[in-house]
Amino acid sequence: MARIACFVEKYNFLDSTETEALQNFRHAAERMGHSFNFLFKSNISEIAKYDAVFIRATTDPLYTSYVVSKTAWELGLRVVDDPKSIQICANKIHLYSLFEKFNIPRIPTMFLTKEEFHHKQISEIFDTFGKPVVLKAPYTSFSRYVERVACETSFREVARRFFRKSDVLVVQKFMPTSFDWRVGVLNGEVLYVCKYTMRKGKWKHGAKLRGKSKFIWGRTFSIKREHASARFKETALKACSIIGKGLYGVDIKEINGEYIVVEVNDNPSIYAGYEDLRDKDLYEKIITYLVN
Amino acid sequence: MPHTVLVVSNIDLIKNTSAMKPSTFLNTSVSDHILNLNNDYRYMKMGYYVSLHAEVLENPVIPRSENAIDAYRHPILLIKASKHGIPTLPHIVTDSAKQIIKEIGFPAVVFAVNPFSNGGFKIARSRSALYRALRSFGLNHKFTVCAQPLIGEIVSVKTIFGKCNRHGSIGEVAKKFYEIFRLPICKLHIQQFEEKAYLSGIEKLDIEEITQTELRLISEEVFRISKIGEKYWLE
């Protein structure tokens, strides 16, 4: 019997479908004879009591979740997400540098440093990618800190905001699609496949309505993993292989029959009735990976 | 053909050692041993991205990006340091004042674990001071803090390639810290009690804090490393 700690924060229980997914993990672990306890930030000094740690709180090297991951790793525990995966996936500069190095099919991308942040460089970017372009802070997640800009004024305004935390930013060609594929991958195998759609008039899965602070999301449709084409799955697995053997969510655009990787996320969302709809065994597979 | 050493620096060196600017380096694809000199190696700052770029190019680099992240994540700094034989004091990571009072007591030294603080620490000698520290470093209890007992005085030393202006146990901690984390330039917070020294925290060094004497020391060390070449990466 293994003792599994699931590191969560209060916000992981705000959405009933996420709460249900967390309970599904617990039931799967208990059915398999393991214990599964939620670990909050007030009791992370208890990590050493466990055999494996499963992180569901949002990951970033600057968040407590990284401290949890690295502590578990240093103690020799099995941990999902492992610190290396967090380091790569949570920083898009790191991720896209590896995409380029390993020739992963990707959106045309440039990096912008504070020193290059001037009129000539911005003009060159618009000349190369056309208008609009997409500006991304390296720490983007859940569609946040990714903005479309169509003129130098808005480029400067957004870049200045993103430069507060990072000395380098990502600039990408704008390639709109009505949905992104999301492929869940664990240890080099496809776990689930779904489509994350964009709401009408929006270009991201998650977006704010004009004048509102609340985020709204597009719809999620699942397909059985065996129904996805081999070439599609190969693209997702290749993108994950340059990062590690953990749990990832790969975002892929399908444009003119070609598959283009948008990004690979560690700590992918798993909500009951959405990602797990067609492949319900994902809970057992993740628990099995954690304890083996 | 032997590899040379490429110095990438945001600090103007005073000895005749050539150095590349960090933003220039990010646009190159050189194959070399990289010595990344920067006053700030914190995550997402230029010092971090230089090490990252060197690693993506598969160049041996000082410091490694992982060490830059870990040194500035306070609980990880302590775990890793202790694992490698650097004296440290016990610590807890929590957002609960009660837990700190119960397990650490007073006086306690509190470090931030939130993504926004630039380093530094607060000393809590009373319940109210502890609540203030938690509110400030925990950003109104949204984030955890790292707390340790305060058993002596905290000495802050500027450390350059593991050298500082203090000898004895403090000098030993600075030296060992460089051997493990390989951050050439930083400020260390070390607790001193009787003759013993314990690594407590780290902070970036502002460029304005680097004196002419220290600049000379940095330049001499860079010159020495350039002469040793790739063997320095094996030390």
pLDDT tens digits, B164-177: 989 899 999 999 99
Tell me, rounded to whole angstroms, the distance of Cα B212 from its chain centroid: 21
> CB burial class (10 A; 0-12, 13-18, 19+) of residue A68?
buried
Q: Which fold has domain A3-81?
A: Rossmann fold (3.40.50)
For chain B, the helix, strand and coil percentages under 3-state DSSP, each to the nearest 5? 40, 25, 35
ipTM: 0.94
Whether chain A has a CB inside 8 Å of the CB on B126: the answer is no
Please report the pLDDT score of residue A142 as a whole number: 81
Whether chain B has a CB inside 8 Å of the CB on A74: the answer is yes
Chain A residue with minimum CA distance to B103: A45
Please report the pLDDT score of residue A212 as a whole number: 75
Please report the pLDDT score of residue A208 as a whole number: 75
- Between the two ends of chain B, the Cα-to-Cα distance in Å is 20
- Look-up of token digits 């680097």: B210
CA-to-CA distance for B136 and A267, rounded, in angstroms? 29
Tokens of A292: 């083996």
Chain B residue with minimum CA distance to A95: B56
Residues of B in contact with A97 (CB under 8 A): 52-53, 56
What is the average pLDDT across B144-165? 95
The size of the A-B interface in CB pairs under 8 A is 88
Task: Give Rg (Cα) of chain B.
Answer: 19
pLDDT digits (tens, 9 = 90+) for B4-51: 899 999 999 886 678 999 999 999 999 999 999 999 999 999 999 999
DSSP label at residue B10: S
Contact of B37 with B11, CB cutoff 8 Å: yes
Mean pLDDT of chain B: 92
For chain A, the helix, strand and coil percentages under 3-state DSSP, each to the nearest 5? 35, 30, 35
Residue A38, phi then psi, degrees to nearest 5? -80, 135
Bigger pLDDT: A157 vs A62: A157
Tell me, rounded to whole angstroms, the distance of Cα B17 from its chain centroid: 24
Tokens of A160: 């200045």
How do beta strands A206-208 and A78-80 pair? unpaired
Please report the pLDDT score of residue A112 as a whole number: 97
CB within 8 Å of chain B, chain A residues 216-245: none
Angle between helices B74-83 and B168-181 (to 10 degrees): 100
Please report the pLDDT score of residue B16 as a whole number: 66
Bigger pLDDT: A215 vs B192: B192
Half-sphere exposure of A150 (CA within 13 A, CB side): 1
What is the average pLDDT across B159-187? 95
Confidence of residue B227 (pLDDT cuts 50, 70, 90): confident
Q: Which amino acid is residue A23, in one-letter code?
A: Q
* Angstroms from B167 CA to nearest CA on chain A: 31
Q: Which of A14-18, A44-48, A198-202 has the lowest mean pLDDT?
A: A198-202
Domain positions in chain A are: 3-81, 89-103+177-291, 109-173
Whether chain A has a CB inside 8 Å of the CB on B115: the answer is yes
Helix spans in chain A (H): 16-31, 64-74, 83-89, 92-101, 119-129, 152-162, 230-241, 282-291
pLDDT surpasses 80 at A214 = no
Residues of A in contact with B66 (CB under 8 A): 83-84, 87
pLDDT surpasses 60 at B77 = yes
Confidence of residue B1 (pLDDT cuts 50, 70, 90): very low
CATH 3.30.1490.20 at A109-173, yes or no = yes
What is the average pLDDT across B180-195? 95
Q: Which of A5-9, B130-134, B195-199, B225-229 has the lowest mean pLDDT?
A: B225-229
Whether chain B has a CB inside 8 Å of the CB on A110: the answer is no
Instruction: Indicate the pTM of the whole model.
Output: 0.94
- Between the two ends of chain A, the Cα-to-Cα distance in Å is 11
pLDDT digits (tens, 9 = 90+) for B105-149: 999 999 998 777 777 899 999 999 999 999 999 888 788 899 999
Q: To which H or E segment does residue B47 belong?
A: helix B46-56
How do beta strands B61-62 and B33-37 pair? parallel
Distances (CA, A) of B213 to B13, B188, B218: 12, 19, 9
CATH number of this structure's domain A89-103+177-291? 3.30.470.20
